[in-house]
Every structure is written in C-alpha cells, then in structure tokens.
Structure 1
C-alpha cells in the first residue's frame, strides 16, 4: 500500500529540483540529485529541524503559512499546491482570496536575474520573493517583520516601520501612494473574500489620514515607469528606473529596478551586489 503523506510528497518534490532551478550554485562532486533539506529550509525560511520533522511525519499540523512558503520554494503548480494543503489537513486557498503562489516560471526568471533588484509582490503589495540584488539595494527583507513587508503599509506609516525602512524616497506628488490605493481598490473587487485585504484597508483608513483621504476621494491611478532614488546607507543615493510588470493569469506584481550600464549608479549597485553577500529568498 502506498502511503501518501505530506512528508513523502515533500521529499519527492524536493528531489526533482536542482540548485540551479532556485538560483543556488551547483558544486562539483554533489551527490544529492535534488535539493538538500538545508537548501529547502533556507529557501522556505524554516529551520532544518522542523523540515526534517515534517518529512518524517513527526510534525503533523503545519500552518497554512508554512505550506504556502514551502509551495513557493518547491515551485509547485497550483494543483500541487492545493494537494499539499489537503495533505496537511488544510483547505486550499478559496476563490476570491489573494494568492501568494509564485509560478515556477517566475521563480526561474528570478533565479537568473541576480544582476537586477527584483521583488515579487502579491495583489495586496506584500513582498513574497526577491533577488539578492534587491536585498542589497533595499535592505534584506528577511530582517523585517511580516507587517513591514507590505509596501502599502510602509508608504502610509510613519516611524521605523514606514517607507524609511525600505528606503525609497517617496514621490513629492504622492503618485505612488495614489497608485497603491487604486490597486487595493481593484484588488478588493478581484478578491472579495480576502479577510486580510479588507483588514489592511480598514487599518490604514483608521491610522493614516493620507490613506483615508486618497481612499475616500476614489483615487484612480496606474503604475507607470518611473525614476526612484534609494538612499543607501553605504554608498549614498542611487537613482534607478523602476518598472512594474504583471504576469498574465496572475495577480502578482513584479518590480524591477535597473540602472544605465557604465553609470555611477551602476557602479554603486554592482559594488553592493558583489560585497553585501545577501541571499535571495521568500518571505516566510
């Protein structure tokens, strides 16, 4: 009799991925065909001990957040992700809620775009995945709380958890904020049953006069190519072109920062990329 458990299935999915698939170097003399447990644990933001207990069936009640981050790290297809939820005794994400699933093709693209700062956001503008160059330029997202990974909250929040912690200069005309508010309004229509999204809007309407004003005015905006300045504590100001890309059939937003080849900004970014030593990753 075949015993289909979450642990056996995780091992099978781990074995089919190579380090190159997830942006890790392939070292000579490697004996493991797929990913090592240690590698998957890092990618998923979990401890190796917990992953071992999951695979051995000794941890039997993982949270939906753990399953979601494992699904991203293992580059699962939507049907596979839903299967993982059921094996964990959980209901798959319901229709009308925001998906944190990042398609395998997008993950492979990120693994090969180490040169560029790239971040992948969900429909409510929570950062899900990033390249090492993103972490070097904006600051390592792994050092932030889950609340600080939401860009809308950062833009409309003062203090350490606000935009200063990213640290991208805010547009003087408030265009970024208005565009994000408009995005959230559209997201509420697309994901009417997402309690977290509704709670985020309610929280910001109660705590931010600027957000409430923009929301109550029915802000309409769209993301266009723009120039952004990042005030980096190590190399100073870096001015980048910022583009927001979308994935057909998905509500993901992919934010890409680029600089002109041979420019002083390119030299600063390359210095950070080479010396910072930060890793790519997902939010746990």
Structure 2
C-alpha cells in the first residue's frame, strides 16, 4: 500500500493546476501565471496553512491524516476514484462503503461556487459541515477556525453550552426534533459507521434534550423552506429564507440562505458581500 513520498505532492500539484479558480469560487484576476489554483487558495479551501500545503507538495510532510486528505480531496473537487488515489498515495485506506460519506461531487461544488452571492453550506448525512463559501463564513463565522468535531450541527446544537445564533421561525423545538430525526435515519442507514455511533452516544450521554428526543418515536424530517433570524455581531439581526436541498446519490444537504431582492435583509447580505465583514468567531456555536 505504500507509495513514494513525492507521489502525494505530485498529485496535489497536478490537480491544483487543473482546477479553474472560477469553479472554486475565486474571481479570475488578470496577471495569474497559471490557470489553476494558487497554493494559498488551496490552503484556504482546505482549511490548512499555506506552509503545510507547501510541505505536502514538496514531500517534506509525509504523514497527512485522513481528515487532511479528505479536506484536500474536497477542495480539489476530485472524483471518487481520484479521491481514493489520493488516500492511497498517503498510505491511507480510502473511506469505506457503508459509512457516512464526506465526498462532495465536483458538480455540486461548481454549482455552489457560482451561487457565491448567497451563504451556502454543504452537510453530510450526520449534519457535519464539509463545504462552505465565503458568504457562509461572513454570515455565520469561519468554520475552519474550529476543530472538525465542532463543525457538526447536532453537537453544537445540543452540547456547545452557548446560545445558538440562528432562530428558526417554526420554533427551536421543531428544529431540534428534525435534526434528531435525521440522525436516527442516518444511524439506520449506516449501522457500521463508528463515527456516527460515537456522535449519537456522546449526545445521549451529555444532553437530556437529545436523549429525550432520541427515545421518542419520530419520522425522518421533511425539510421545507423556513425563515430564520441570524444574529450577526456586527450587522445585527438578519431575517433570511433557509432552504435545505437534498443532493440525490450523494446523501448531502445543501443549506442556502437568501432574501427577497430589494428587502432590508437583502441589503444586509449585500453589505456583508461588499465589505467582507466576517462574523466574529467568539465560540464554536456558528454553523
């Protein structure tokens, strides 16, 4: 299973050069020396330091974790076959069938990147955030500032111990019940997924609310449009339409926040877009 140390770096460089900046959500600026992504852009997309990406490409960092390889595979918009090749080049086993997939198909990423005027986040079947755009970070805080464990919506919602900054119009109780119902559905479809089982066990042991909802007979949530108020620390409250779009065949949820054109809330989104004011990352409560 072992491969040369330079193989991993060569793959990173080749696939970075292949990916068009526009497909990754970056503007095509004049004076670019190469058609692909810059190293700092790949680092930003993967939530890694530029120095670490450089050391990986040069073969000086030789033992990337599965988490790092997965983040790079998503950032490079690799196919499943290419993703598995990247894992093997790092002497790691590719993700196995029967577990919650963190793979975001390239087409989904290209679509989301072209909708960059609006906050978009992509979640796995267990509600772990695996892809987001710059508007998502501006509205809700930069998820890369926190460990992956705190990018899981259920863990933040039930065990973070801080006030949740998103207030659903249909009520917090209904929102919490829908997330638990989704996790129940995921657990039934992925019984061999150790990470999902550990998440559920942690939540049952640490949250009375989660434990009560888990013990209640619930049906899988049917997500419809909901209006949610986002408490942004600089802009103030923003009332937005929240849609959850299911990606067939990938078991992903694309969450979008939009506002009607010409509304005051659309103006607040415009302000975030133009100024790039990020939501302050005061705690791990912003998803």
- How many aligned positions are there? 273
Q: Does 1:264 align with 2:264?
A: yes
TM-score by length of 1: 0.90
1:77-156 equivalences under 5 Å are 77-156=79-158
Alpha-carbon distance between aligned partners in 1 of 2:112 and 2:145, rounded to the nearest angstrom: 20
Q: Conserved in 1, the CA contact under 8 Å of 2:141 and 2:278? A: no
Q: Which residue of 1 aligns with 2:285?
A: none
User: Residues 230 and 277 (structure 1 numbering): CA distance in 2 closer, same or farther, change over 3 Å?
Assistant: closer
Alpha-carbon distance between aligned partners in 2 of 1:121 and 1:184, rounded to the nearest angstrom: 12
Q: Which residue of 1 aligns with 2:14?
A: 12
Q: Conserved in 1, the CA contact under 8 Å of 2:150 and 2:156? A: yes
Query: 1:75-131 deviations in whole A, cap 9, x for unaligned?
Result: 000010011111111111011111111111111112111111111111111111112
Deviates further, 226-235 or 244-253: 226-235
TM-score by length of 2: 0.89
Alpha-carbon distance between aligned partners in 1 of 2:231 and 2:56, rounded to the nearest angstrom: 42
Q: Does 1:228 align with 2:239?
A: no
Q: Conserved in 2, the CA contact under 8 Å of 1:152 and 1:180? A: yes
Q: CA deviation at 1:64?
A: 0.4
Q: CA deviation at 1:254?
A: 0.4
Q: Which residue of 2 aligns with 1:201?
A: 200
1:149-228 equivalences under 5 Å are 149-157=151-159, 159-160=161-162, 164=164, 167-169=165-167, 172=171, 174-220=173-219, 221-228=221-228
Query: 1:125-158 deviations in whole A, cap 9, x for unaligned?
Result: 1111112222222222233332321111122125
Alpha-carbon distance between aligned partners in 2 of 1:235 and 1:46, rounded to the nearest angstrom: 28
User: Residues 143 and 56 (structure 1 numbering): CA distance in 2 closer, same or farther, change over 3 Å?
Assistant: closer
Q: Conserved in 2, the CA contact under 8 Å of 1:116 and 1:258? A: yes
Q: Conserved in 2, the CA contact under 8 Å of 1:113 and 1:131? A: no
5+ residue gaps, structure 1, are 280-284
Q: Conserved in 2, the CA contact under 8 Å of 1:100 and 1:122? A: yes
Alpha-carbon distance between aligned partners in 2 of 1:193 and 1:253, rounded to the nearest angstrom: 21
Secondary structure in structure 1 of the residue aligned to 2:257: strand
Q: CA RMSD in A?
A: 1.8
Alpha-carbon distance between aligned partners in 1 of 2:28 and 2:240, rounded to the nearest angstrom: 31
